[in-house]
Structure 1
C-alpha cells in the first residue's frame, strides 16, 4: 500500500489538469484552415501565371523568327530604320508585304505554318486536359487570317499589333 502513496497525488494532479485545461480555440483551427486554403489558391495562381508566361515566350519566339526573316531583306531593314514603333503598331509595317520578294514570303509562310501547328498541338492538349471543353483556349489572333498558306496584309497588321504587346 505504501508503494502507491506517492503515485496517488500525482495521478490526482494529472486528472485535475486534464479536466481543468481549456479546449483549443476553434478560431485558431479555422484560421489555420483558411490560411492553408489561401496558400493553395496562391500556388494555383502562380502556376497559372507560369503557364501564361510560357505561352507568351513561345509566341515571342515566333515573332523573333518573323523579324529575323524580315531583317534579312535590305528593303525591309531600310523601312524598319525609318519607321517609329507607333507606326509599326498601327499596321504601317504591313504595307511592305506586297513589296517582299517571293522567297521571303515563302519563308514567312513556312514560319506561320509551324506556329499554327504548334498552336494546334497546344489547343489539342488544353482540350484533353479540360475534357474536350474550349473555354480555356487562348491563342494569338494573327494565326486566324483566311489563308494559312499566304502571308497577307491583314495577317501582318495583326502581327504588328502583337509586337506592340497585345497577345490576342
Structure 2
C-alpha cells in the first residue's frame, strides 16, 4: 500500500471508486455528490490517495475549520474518506488516516461519522480515535431525516 498526494489525474479512478462505495454503502448519502467537484472542495487543505499495485484504491482529504461537540478550536477534519470495496481489509483506510495525522503535525484532528457506517466506527475505535461528542446533523438524508453524528478525535 502506498499513500501519495492526490493529483488531478486521479479524478476518474476516484469517481469510479466513489460510485462503487455509494452503491454498496450509501456513501456519500446523495448520489449527486458522486462527482469530481465534491472531491475537490475548496475548503480542503490537503488530499491523499492510497494505491495498491499502481491502482488508486482510496482517498482522504483534510478540511480546515472542523467543529462540533467536544472538538477543540483550530481542529482540522478528516473528509471524503473512502476505500474501494475490492481493497477493504488491506489497510488502506488506516494508512490514509495515518497520512492525514502526520500532515497535521500538532494540530488537533477530528472526524464525524453518521450512525450507519458501523465498519467505519470500528476502524476509528480500533485505531485509538476517541469519541468526544454527539449531535444531530444540520443536513438531511434522502428520507428527510437528520442523521445522528458522532465526533471523534485522533489519538
Larger helix proportion, structure 1 or 2?
Answer: 1
Compute the TM-score of the two structures, normalised by the length of structure 2. 0.25
Larger strand proportion, structure 1 or 2?
Answer: 2
Quick check: which has more Rg, 1 or 2?
A: 1
Compute the TM-score of the two structures, normalised by the length of structure 1. 0.24
Higher relative contact order (CA 8 A, sep 6+): 1
